[in-house]
Chains A and B, each alone.
Chain A
Amino acid sequence: MTPPEPLQSQGDQALKGALGRRIASALEGITREKVTEAGFANAMANGPLIANGAGILGLQNTLLMDGEDALVIAAGPSVHRSDTARIIKESGFKGVIIATESAMAWCLRHGILPHLVVTLDPHPERIVRWFGDPTLTDEALAQDDYFARQDMDPKFREDQLRFNRELLGLINKFGPDIRIAVASSASPAVVGRVRESGMAVYWWNPMYDDYDIEDSLTGRIHALNGLPCVNAGGNVGSACWVFAHAVLRKRRVGLVGMDFGYYADTTYHQTQYYKEILELVGPDRLDEVFMRILNPYLGREFYTDPAYLWYRDAFVEMAQQAECKTFNCTGGGILFGPGIEWTTLPEFLSSCNT
């Protein structure tokens, strides 16, 4: 699909929010600082399981290697704003479906069984919620309202304890049919749920820094457990895409739910980092942190925050060096640029079946 104007120039002109851009430009180093300690601690805790488990290269000995097409399903809000599940199911798509752990519940609720799920975030409490948290209590919910605010899956905003119970059952039911690529950085809570539900685990390390520098963190984690290290792009959606082409060697990868942004009718309060941004800059400077971006393919404005902008920039960089063709079928958001073909989900799925 041809954009109305050259992508980069229009995209860059449309980017506003100077403070947000400054923060985004610092996030590569800041994120490394944030995740290294927890990631390494979790890798140590997961060590005995890793030693007796399978690595991600084991996926290359499965039928997931068949065919050239893959579809990545992430948990962006666009997934809920169109008939995404019906389109996928009715398409007869024969390729590999790779889902973020945050999109797994949505997939299963809509009758889509991903061939591979990916998880990586070392957060000690939040990520296990996507799997159903057997320890969830009213007290825990009172301490963290992230899931009550987030825009990724509306079901998680409902009666949270009831939905959590339902999710525990759903994941337990389908767990034995699910392969999951678990980063060594995953929390003990996530690893416990993955094992409890009977999923087939394939381990990997996230890349932490430049493996060519002396005594790199990446070299150290690889030496620790022998697992391959994956440049995960800062987030689990991008990691799914890396798995699709770099591990499963797919040549054509479609994306849905990869918004990296918010619809204009989403309140700041519903955004991923609202509380953290508020604490950092106060209520009067929020407009300097959140950035509005015109999607030229849709002629529509979305807004984003520093982390999502960093994810987007990282993805655009990676897309240009990947050996696959990338089709963004998200239908919303800010992920466009060189190396990424903007198309619709029906068009992508239809082209896969020819």
Chain B
Amino acid sequence: MSDILKGNFTPKKPVEAHKEEDLNAQFEREALKRLGGSIAFVSKKKFLFGAGHNDKDTKRDAS
């Protein structure tokens, strides 16, 4: 009996056991989002992007 249960064929697609931790990881990620910052930070990039000629502009004010 135990020999039969070992499996005697190869499935066409790899079979992955359902990971119980998937749900936990999903919960954890949602909880972590609530710990996130106010806005994004992009590491190792410049301070400004798109500050060229097409940007919106205004005239000098006097204050």
Contact = CB atoms under 8 A, between A and B. Distances in A.
Interface of A: 23, 26-28, 30-36, 39, 50, 53-55, 57-58, 61-63, 120-123, 183, 185, 200, 202-203, 205-212, 218, 222, 226-236, 238-239, 242, 245-247, 273, 276-277, 279-280, 305-307, 310-311, 314, 317-318, 322
A158 to B, nearest CB: 24
A307 B37 contact: yes
Given A228-B48, A314-B41, A58 B58 contact: yes
Nearest to A241: B47
A121 B40 contact: no
B38 A235 contact: yes
B39 interface: yes
A39 to B, nearest CB: 7
Nearest to A276: B34
Contact of A61 (B29, B36, B60): B60
Q: Chain B at the A interface: mostly helix, strand, loop or mixed? A: loop
B39 A39 contact: yes
B35 A62 contact: no
Contact of A228 (B43, B44, B51, B60): B51
B38 A121 contact: yes
Given A211-B49, A231-B42, A34 B36 contact: yes
Contact of B40 (A209, A212, A306): A209
A63 B46 contact: no
B41 A30 contact: no
A208 B38 CA distance: 12
Given A32-B40, A205-B50, A236-B39, 10 more contacts: A23-B32, A31-B41, A62-B61, A222-B49, A227-B55, A229-B48, A229-B50, A235-B39, A273-B35, A277-B35
